[in-house]
Structure 1
């Protein structure tokens, strides 16, 4: 009796071709969506800055600090009634006077443009020509945006204590001149951050 092997058994087989690695998905769709969302947020921010800014009412005193007389110490009334001299105040008022003397000036000149200006966290509106001087505070930055209305030429600049720190120009249809300054990290004053 002869033993037969089933067909295909015992015969050399052809090696199978290696499979190609799975194709990597391109993530261009995610990148495109991210860029579109970022651009949309920037456009909304610009529209909100231009449309949401308004002039502050000059009669609005809610945010304006007022000076008040210091409270009298318990023993100071006796000194005042007896004619004794009281101790002069500390050097704090001198520091306040120095800080109050420092100013920031927003300056815009040229053709018709819508102007938005102010320190970080605020948005004041104005028209060309514009020259506004305010006490210098400690916000993260000060900025001006001047958008032309249909064409022309506009210049903006921000001055600290009369010295120009940032300046920009724009010409043409609806172009924007933008100035911005921020405090130097070394604490040496203000620097142009308009690039």
Structure 2
């Protein structure tokens, strides 16, 4: 006889786990696009800031060119542009030196005085003395004194110009005076006193 056995016990099956819900593709794009845009903006901002810093650094690092203009260079350029001025030649003729006229012709007793004065820019050659004593002098005015020689026949002075001037000359013996004058060229001024028969001078 067969008995029917109940089927073995099986616990009731648990509800199956709900399947994960998947977002549709259009919903995922809606989140991904704004996120990518934000990341991009942040990256651009950082890049721009870095670029500005880099520009500042590069600007600060590079020195600006300097131009130096000196006054000397400018003066040379101005001088080069100027037209040469005509040369002027001025010739000055020296004026002859005027000399003072000596004091009145006086000679102490027993002395002979010779004088030459005036102006002679080129100079003058002077000779003075007696027939037995001849001497030379120079410079204007000139005054020379000799002791009177009673045996002398005459006393004279002569002064010759060296190419121009105006001079006077004189010789004085015992209060007697003879004078002469010369002007221009190589003319000669001369004055002479002769011993008289009676012992005087004329």
TM-score (norm 2): 0.42
TM-score (norm 1): 0.43
Larger Rg: 2
